[in-house]
Amino acid sequence: MSKFLSREKMAGKQVIDAEGMIVGNVKDIAVDIESKEIAFKIATRVGTEIDVVSDDVSQVGDVILLKKALELPGVSEAPAVAAPTLAPGVCPSCGYANDPASKFCIKCGTLMK
């Protein structure tokens, strides 16, 4: 089994920041020729495009979880919508991708709802 994820498998994945807010979806992957750093090109929910470097990514699974909260250009405050639903098995406390049938997070012990 390969430890690498193909561009095709990454494209379209939802990106969620450390505060559980939906940032957008992966549009493409880019590589800095000089530093060899990898970045995800994200089509944000507000219609802009941003780059997120791989060092800012906490985990990659059904979704991509970021290590920190992001402020999107053109958004002054969080939209007045219901909190996003995480993928089945993703811990609402720490973001760990558990088995969808888990009752508790195996990383932090939080009750999975």
Long-range pairs of 23-28 with CB within 8 A, sequence gap ≥ 24: 23/50, 23/52, 23/66, 23/70, 23/72, 24/50, 26/64
Structural domain contains residue 2: no
pLDDT band at 40 (very low <50, low <70, confident <90, very high): very high
Mean pLDDT computed over 8-16: 90
DSSP letter at 95?
A: -
Identify the CATH number of the domain in which residue 22 sits. Answer: 2.30.30.240
Structural domain contains residue 76: no
Q: Is the dihedral of CA 13, 105, 103, 81 positive or negative?
A: negative
Structural domain contains residue 35: yes
Structural domain contains residue 29: yes
Structural domain contains residue 95: no
Q: Which domain holds residue 28?
A: 8-66
| pTM (predicted TM-score) | 0.60
pLDDT tens for 56-94 read 999 998 899 999 998 876 655 555 556 566 678 888 888
Q: How many domains does the chain have?
A: 1
Structural domain contains residue 86: no
Structural domain contains residue 20: yes
Structural domain contains residue 90: no
Task: Give CA–CA dist 72/60, Å, rounded.
Answer: 21
